[in-house]
């Protein structure tokens, strides 16, 4: 470089959207690609750091999630994401807010700082959607959503992108108001779908081809006898399933077993930590299925249980695509770190 000037591109959430941040088909493909790269050993991802402070509740935190993605991405980065569950009711703000930084491995300098809130929600939904591509029945027509919060909007968006023949959506939440609000929004987005709202998990789960849970519960709310043969289950949130749901499943997978067990909250992780199942009883990781090392769904009667944890490398992968699109479109604001470095 002739100049020692250091600049990076800043992208607001509006600009992230202009560059395809709501393009779930793109996000699904990028998440699938990064899971494949991780299985091939072409990513690096240190443990997530969770920052807490005096008097914060169990669900309040700020997480640092760094990662490097190789392949055509060849980018390092980090997501800095805060979570405050009372934000919507107390401040009129989203529960989660994120900032993502991308760095060039050649110089280690930042090349882009962008809103990560939207990307984080989209890629979290996309992991379930990629799982649906490989683990759900191709003729799946019904979805049960446990939890009527923000996250299940992108979970549904991803499932509908992966399996466009879905016809029936059941939404369950302890709050009937949240259920009604969720369905009101989704009916505007998906006019051809049939929606049913309930405050009882059984009403949503029984007969559903796909079950997705995204809640903060610390007690199981889904019973094994409610789960039909052939179901695909995505345990996005916490301890939503009684142990017998996992025992009843033909295959139990994660996107990253080490991270799932380290987090401790999801049902299968609790079972491993409590000695209810052994690590060798776990079928494998989704990246292995994507790369053809292990088969995904092999018949229509298998119950397949998936524990997605979400990884910083997914944010880096999607953010890099947004950055590349912003460069080609001339979108964003260039900011200067320095014109000349103070020290070299």
Q: Which of 30, 48, 79, 251 is catalytic?
A: 79
Please name every residue paired with 197 in a beta bridge, in sequence order, or none if there are none: 171
4 in active site: no
Helices (H), the chain: 13-18, 24-39, 87-91, 117-135, 150-162, 176-189, 201-205, 243-248, 257-263, 267-273, 286-290, 312-329
| SS3 annotation, 68-100 | EECCCCCEEEEEEEEECCCHHHHHCCCCEEEEE
Contact 160, 190 (CB under 8 A): yes
Distance CA(235)–CA(316), nearest Å, equals 23
Tokens of 95: 């529960």
Residue from 210, 241, 193, 195 nearest 137 by CA = 210
Residue from 189, 187, 158 nearest 171 by CA = 187
Give the DSSP H or E segment for 336.
Answer: strand 333-338
- Write the CA distances from 213 to 124, 177, 248, 268, integer angstroms: 12, 18, 17, 14
Residue from 270, 207, 199 nearest 237 by CA = 270
Contact 103, 109 (CB under 8 A): yes
Residue positions annotated with a catalytic role: 79
């Amino acid at each position: 470089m002739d100049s020692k000037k250091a600049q990076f591109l800043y992208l607001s959430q509006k600009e992230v959207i202009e560059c395809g941040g709501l393009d779930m088909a793109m996000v699904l493909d990028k998440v699938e690609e990064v899971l494949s790269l991780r299985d091939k050993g072409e990513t690096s991802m240190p443990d997530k750091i969770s920052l807490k402070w005096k008097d914060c509740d169990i669900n309040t935190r700020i997480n640092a999630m760094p990662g490097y993605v190789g392949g055509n991405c060849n980018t390092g980065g980090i997501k800095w994401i805060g979570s405050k569950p009372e934000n919507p009711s107390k401040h009129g703000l989203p529960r989660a807010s994120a900032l993502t930084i991308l760095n060039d491995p050649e110089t280690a300098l930042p090349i882009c700082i962008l809103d990560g809130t939207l990307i984080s929600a989209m890629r979290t939904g996309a992991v379930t959607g990629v799982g649906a591509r490989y683990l759900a029945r191709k003729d799946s027509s019904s979805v049960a959503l446990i939890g009527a919060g923000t996250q299940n909007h992108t979970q549904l968006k991803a499932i509908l992108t992966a399996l466009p023949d879905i016809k029936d959506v059941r939404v369950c939440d302890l709050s009937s108001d949240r259920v009604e609000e969720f369905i009101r929004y989704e009916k505007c987005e998906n006019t051809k779908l049939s929606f049913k709202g309930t405050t009882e998990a059984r009403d949503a789960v029984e007969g559903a081809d796909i079950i997705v849970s995204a809640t903060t519960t610390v007690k199981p709310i889904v019973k094994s006898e409610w789960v039909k043969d052939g179901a695909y289950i995505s345990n996005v949130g916490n301890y939503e399933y009684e142990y017998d749901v996992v025992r009843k499943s033909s295959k139990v997978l994660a996107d990253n077993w080490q991270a799932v067990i380290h987090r401790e909250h999801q049902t299968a992780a609790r079972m491993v930590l409590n000695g209810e199942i052994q690590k060798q009883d776990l079928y494998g990781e989704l990246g292995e299925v994507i790369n053809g090392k292990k088969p995904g769904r092999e018949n229509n009667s298998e119950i397949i249980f998936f524990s997605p944890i979400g990884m910083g490398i997914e944010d880096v992968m999607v953010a890099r695509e947004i950055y590349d699109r912003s460069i080609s479109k001339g979108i964003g604001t260039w900011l200067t770190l320095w014109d000349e470095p103070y020290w070299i």
